[in-house]
Amino acid sequence: MRMPGDSRNVDDLDRGDDAGHEPGPRVSERPRPPAVPEVSNDAPGFAALLAKIAHDREFVCHSYKEKCLRRRIAVRLRARGAATYAEYARLLDGDPREYETLLDTLTINVTKLFRNWDTFAAVSRTVVPALWASPSHSLHIWSAGCASGEEAYSLAMLFHAHATEHGEGHRVGRICVLGTDIDRESLVAANRATYPESAFADTPAAFRSRYFAGGPLAAVDPGIRALVRFARHDLMRDPAPPGQHLIACRNVIIYFDRAAQEELFTRFHAALVPGGFLVLGKVETILGPTRGLFAPVDARERIFRRT
């Protein structure tokens, strides 16, 4: 079962050129892994396995960096002692739990509340006041690739805090946050809206005490919960929801190849209202011709504005 607040080191895992890192000790401390199965030249077997995953689980991998996919899948082959992609595919048919583990390995859904607080602080300083002052009746905020929901709730809390601090608590109903992800299990966790201590590492104490209750699984305040909804959405296949004022897509595009990234920026541009904001992850940026679609607002915190 997917649990939020996974104790894996989030930022160790979020590197698009990763080496298929699994949770566990640092590389230098790990025992040498058993030999990786000799599958690297089996292009047809690899393609057949990806087609099977797409067919069985609606998880289409062709936009992901191939090197990254190969390494991650090799981790599972090694863990299960499968010598070929075909053997691993047969194993998947008889073992639904392995399928879940594989999808976990491929989607990398670790996250935290207010992950990289500096970015949220910058959003709170620049983006939130600008949007709050807009005449729009509703403010549409999309957390694209939201994993177990932490980012979506964190954004709702930023807007909520701004509203109440400015005597506009009666207008919080205009905050409409949509969290989407390709991974259904993550969305189940997101809808549960309860988080363990490990999810709070980046959370300022004031937000923790104001917007969460109970423990050891702390529940999101019902007032915030009501502002956020979740839906399954594949960024590469499903149409982007239009009319967004802010899109946060952090630590997701890093796994996509260059063409897919550019395609996604074009879609985000179309989904944003004029002047709408885009926030990326700390090591992500806009490359290629799509760069002209956005102007940097805070280059360090990867905040952009639709031109």
Residue type, 104: D
The yes or no reply on residue 202 touching ligand SAM (CB under 6 A) is no
Q: Maximum distance among all alpha carbons in the chain?
A: 64
Q: 101: exposed, middle or buried (C-beta count within 10 Å: 0-12, 13-18, 19+)?
A: middle
Collapse the DSSP code of 20 into the 3-class scheme (helix H, G, I; strand E, B; otherwise coil) and give the result: coil
Find the angle CA(167)-CA(172)-CA(176) to the nearest 5 degrees.
150
To the nearest whole angstrom, how small is the minimum distance from the Cβ of residue 303 to ligand SAM?
A: 14
The residue among 39 and 110 lying less far from ligand SAM, judged by its C-beta, is 110
CB of residue 23 to ligand SAM, shortest distance in Å: 13
Binding mask 152-191 for ligand SAM (x = CB under 6 A): -----------------------------xxx--x-----
Which string of x and - marks every residue 239-268 that binds ligand SAM (by CB under 6 A)?
-----------xxx----------------
Secondary structure class of 106 (helix, strand, coil): helix
> Residue 229: helix, strand or coil by DSSP?
strand
Measured from the CB of residue 143, what is the shortest distance to ligand SAM in angstroms?
6
Number of residues that bind ligand SAM (CB under 6 A): 23
From the CB of 166, what's the least distance to ligand SAM, in Å? Answer: 27
Q: What are phi and psi of 219, to 5 degrees?
A: -95, 140
To which H or E segment does residue 56 belong?
helix 43-57
**Under rule CB under 6 A, which residues in 72-111 are in contact with ligand SAM?**
107-111
Under 8 Å between Cβ of 189 and 3: yes
Contact 143, 97 (CB under 8 A): no
Confirm or reject binding of residue 236 to ligand SAM (CB under 6 A): yes
Which DSSP category does 64 fall into? B
Q: What share of the chain is helix, strand, coil (3-state, %, to 5)?
A: 45, 15, 35
Question: Which amino acid does the sequence have at 251?
Answer: N
Q: List the one residue from 115, 160, 245, 269 that touches ligand SAM (CB under 6 A).
A: 115
Residue 39 or 113: the one with the smaller Cβ distance to ligand SAM is: 113
**From residue 119 to residue 158, what is the string marking binding to ligand SAM with x (rule CB under 6 A)?**
--------------------------xxx---x-------
The nearest distance, CB 181 to ligand SAM, in angstroms, is 5
DSSP bridge pairs for 229: 178
Which of 235, 271, 272, 286 contacts ligand SAM by CB under 6 A? 235
Applying the rule CB under 6 A, the residues between 14 and 73 that interact with ligand SAM are 14
The yes or no reply on residue 221 touching ligand SAM (CB under 6 A) is: no
Cα 131-132-136 angle, rounded to 5 deg: 75
DSSP string of 126-195, one letter each residue = IIHHHHHTS--SSEEEEEET-TTTHHHHHHHHHHHHHHHHTT-GGGGGGEEEEEEES-HHHHHHHHHTEE
Report in angstroms how near the CB of residue 246 gets to ligand SAM at its nearest: 13
Whether 232 and 182 have beta carbons less than 8 Å apart is answered as: yes
248 forms beta bridges with 143, 279
Cβ proximity to ligand SAM: between 82 and 156 the closer is 156
Q: Report the alpha-carbon distance of residue 189 to residue 2 in Å, rounded.
A: 7
Of residues 183 and 221, the one with the C-beta less far from ligand SAM = 183
Please say which residue, 52 or 57, places its beta carbon nearer to ligand SAM: 57
Segment near ligand SAM (CB under 6 A); pick from 119-127, 159-167, 215-223, 231-239? 231-239
**Where along the sequence are the contacts to ligand SAM (CB under 6 A)?**
14, 107-111, 115, 145-147, 151, 181-183, 186, 233-236, 250-252, 281
